[in-house]
Amino acid sequence: MNDTSIFDRRSIRKFKNQDIPNETIEEIICAGIAAPSAKNRQPWKCIVFKNEHKKRFLDCMENGIYKEEFIHNTLPKSINGLGDAKNTLRIMREAPVLIVILNTNGKSPFISIDADDRFMEICDSLSIGAFIENMLIQAEKLEIGSLWIANTCFAYNELISYLDTPYQLIGAVALGYADEKPIARPRKPLENIVKYMI
């Protein structure tokens, strides 16, 4: 096996203060676009943030996290995750590039949807997961560190309002040249996750 990008990829949380050219960012996103998607809906949309635009977006996220902790508490069962969200916010500020990922078919998680829409949402979420994974692998091939982020959930409504979008906010990917080399995290052994019915 010549290409080991899948196995070499790590979640990076320390980045060098070095910009990534837009052409390289687009190469990473194009790898995402090549992902399979349910019914070929390709439900992904990206917004790339850098510099002052990234700072303003993350200031909005910080405000949303504060409100979640002290004012509205929309995710009461996830309250223990706020500390991690604050740390993730710090990492996002350090990364030179932030790609926000939207589901163009998705609706707010705070509204009820029927079973048909729920299955469509599940399929589109799987498609977007493949889109993001392709981007992470391509970033690894280009020797760019990445971090897949879901902690935007703690500021969901604030960020949707800031983006002024009808689409569903899935999360974000932070990109930058890695300033660390983490060891591989433990993985479940194959025998714990595979069952053959043959």
- pLDDT tens for 32-80 read 999 999 999 999 999 999 999 999 999 999 999 999 999 988 999 999 9
pLDDT digits (tens, 9 = 90+) for 15-37: 999 999 999 999 999 999 999 99
Q: Is 142 exposed, middle or buried (0-12, 13-18, 19+ CB in 10 A)?
A: middle
Least confident of 41-45, 72-76, 93-97, 194-198: 72-76
The residue-averaged pLDDT of 111-122 equals: 96
Confidence at 110, pLDDT banded by 50, 70, 90 = very high
Q: How far apart are CA 156 and CA 17, in angstroms?
A: 28
Strand order in the sheet with 97-103: 44-49, 97-103, 168-176, 145-149
Task: Examine the pLDDT at 144 and tell me if it is beyond 80.
Answer: yes
Query: What are the helix (H) ranges across the chain?
Result: 5-8, 22-33, 51-70, 82-94, 115-141, 156-163, 190-193
How does the average pLDDT of the chain come out, rounded? 97
Task: Examine the pLDDT at 119 and tell me if it is beyond 60.
Answer: yes
For position 1, what pLDDT does the model report?
56
Supply φ then ψ for residue 64, to 5 degrees.
Answer: -65, -40
> Closest by alpha carbon to 93, among 48, 145, 54, 53?
54
How many Cα neighbours within 13 Å face the side chain of 131? 27
pLDDT digits (tens, 9 = 90+) for 153-175: 999 999 999 999 999 999 999 99
For position 13, what pLDDT does the model report?
98
Query: What token pair was written down for 31?
Result: 């790898």
Query: What token pair was written down for 177?
Result: 């040249």
